[in-house]
Amino acid sequence: MHETLERWSTRRAFILAVTGAAVGLGNIWRFPYITGENGGAAFLVLYVAFVLLLGLPVMMAEIMIGRAGRRSPMQSLGHLAARSGASRHWRWLGLFGAATVFCILSFYSVVSGWSIEFLVAAINGDFRGASAADIGAGFDAFLADPARLTFNHSLFLAMTLLVVAAGVAKGLERLNNLLMPLLYLLLVLLAGYAATTEGFGVALGWLFLPDFSALTPLVVMHAMGHAFFTLAVGACALMAYGAYMPDHQSLPRAVGAVAVLDVAVALLAGIAIFSVVFSQGLDPGEGPGLMFVTLPIAFAELPWGALWLSVFFLLLLLATWTSSINLAEPMVATLQGWGLRRGLATAVVGVAVWSLGMLSVFSFSSLAETRVLFGMNPFELVSTIPPEVFLPLGGLLIAIFAAWVMPEEAARYALDVGPGGFRLWRGVVRWVAIPLTLVVLVAGLS
């Protein structure tokens, strides 16, 4: 298999594509609810620290491998390993990544489907005049209805695979250009509204004044897993995008911009959501429904609330769309690498992801009490173990490969920084990122 010639058309397009992969449910849905479940500020501090110390350097490592290999993840790893005389078995890391995104996409598609339902409800004005209790009850009734969940899950997955089948670079570029600026604008507006609510002060204190006494190794592991998840790192999915990265673009600078935007979106969403939580006397540890219950309440109080809410869910949907396209890409690339045509590869991925996703659909009704493993039902299991164990494990192996195994001159070239910058990056990966990931994983799992 030869090098791919496909490239993102501009440097900006590459940054937007990676931002599109990073910003999604992880920032707006998952970040608030797991921060709520894990006690607030102390968790937030850890998450930001992990983004800086692990997420960023490993993200550079991952994209760099793709850029140096210019092939699908499995083939890039195999090719670079061979060039430095290391074992070709490194290529199985690409398959492990594909298995990880397989699990993640299955629940991601189901939850993204919730935004479709809410978008339609918002456009219909269903939330107008509804009380917090009404909205909560409506959401519970929706989750208990597998037919509606299945419909939305199927629709969302079909939307994703349509773009993937067409080839990622072109369709995605156009989508991203419009979407990202609008999403930020709306979140700033929402956070501005939050500042006028009575819960705002409590929310800020709860988010930003840490109490480290409540930390356990498990909470630390949740924070690390979330840092990988939100940056889309650890599953070779960004490696696939790195293969299309143009020459002459500084990787650290591009990645730094993405991380800042990613954290900013999460913080804005968190401020907005927790202001509502504390204004309405809701429970921050409410779980996966947190965003879906709080935001309709918040918007209901704004002038033209129904309109804003519709726009918000539309943007959320587009943001999850660009993320799920990134989630699907490594699987399709892997199958293509095995000789399948792109259309067929996409169809195979679609059937498999849809089927696994059905377990998540039923996890809110008939399978709710079915404890598969570790006391978790299927949805809890796939939305916890792959992000919090598989991604860090994948990230660890990616880091080891990038900093110890692959040829140094290829790494240096693909990172595109000066000699000092290269040594700094490699030092951080070797002596901070790798040991820290290992320690947190071992402590969290034992």
Least distance (Å) between residue 98 CB and ligand TRP: 11
Out of 190, 219, 237, 298, point to the residue binding ligand TRP (CB under 6 A): 237
Least distance (Å) between residue 341 CB and ligand TRP: 24
Least distance (Å) between residue 205 CB and ligand TRP: 26
x/- string (CB under 6 A) for ligand TRP, residues 20-59?
-xx-xxxx--------------------------------
Residues 6+ apart with CB under 8 A from 339: none
* Minimum CB distance to ligand TRP smaller for 24 or for 284: 24
Least distance (Å) between residue 241 CB and ligand TRP: 10
Name the residue type at position 204: L
Measured over the CA atoms of residue 315, residue 268, residue 221 and residue 431, the dihedral's sign is positive
Of 239-247, 322-330, 397-405, 416-424, the segment contacting ligand TRP by CB under 6 A is: 322-330
> Where does 196-304 have alpha helices with state H?
200-208, 217-231, 237-242, 251-279, 290-300
Residue nearest to ligand TRP (CB): 26
Least distance (Å) between residue 389 CB and ligand TRP: 13
* Minimum CB distance to ligand TRP smaller for 21 or for 382: 21
Largest CA distance in the chain: 67
Out of 229, 241, 244, 379, point to the residue binding ligand TRP (CB under 6 A): 229
Contacts by 432-436, CB closer than 8 A, 24 or more apart: 432/53, 432/54, 432/57, 433/53, 433/54, 433/57, 433/58, 433/399, 434/396, 434/399, 434/400, 434/403, 436/53, 436/54
Out of 34, 101, 157, 367, point to the residue binding ligand TRP (CB under 6 A): 101
Least distance (Å) between residue 103 CB and ligand TRP: 10
State both tokens at 125.
């004005």
Give me the phi and psi of 373, to 5 degrees please. Answer: -155, 145
Task: Write out the binding residues for ligand TRP, residues 389-408 only, by CB under 6 A.
Answer: 391
CA 433/CA 222 separation, integer angstroms: 16
Size of the site for ligand TRP (CB under 6 A): 17
Least distance (Å) between residue 235 CB and ligand TRP: 4
Residues 6+ apart with CB under 8 A from 57: 399, 425, 428, 429, 432, 433
Task: Write out the binding residues for ligand TRP, residues 405-444 only, by CB under 6 A.
Answer: none
Buried b vs exposed e over 221-242: b needs ≥16 C-beta within 10 Å?
bbbbbbbbbbbbbbbbbbbbbb
CA 394/CA 156 separation, integer angstroms: 27
CA 241/CA 222 separation, integer angstroms: 26
* Minimum CB distance to ligand TRP smaller for 24 or for 73: 24
HSE, side-chain direction, 13 A CA sphere, residue 335: 19
Task: Write out the binding residues for ligand TRP, residues 325-344 only, by CB under 6 A.
Answer: 326-327
Of 231-239, 272-280, 281-289, 416-424, the segment contacting ligand TRP by CB under 6 A is: 231-239
Least distance (Å) between residue 394 CB and ligand TRP: 9
* Minimum CB distance to ligand TRP smaller for 16 or for 300: 16
* Minimum CB distance to ligand TRP smaller for 16 or for 306: 16
Where does this chain bind ligand TRP (CB under 6 A)?
21-22, 24-27, 101, 104, 229-230, 232, 235, 237, 323, 326-327, 391
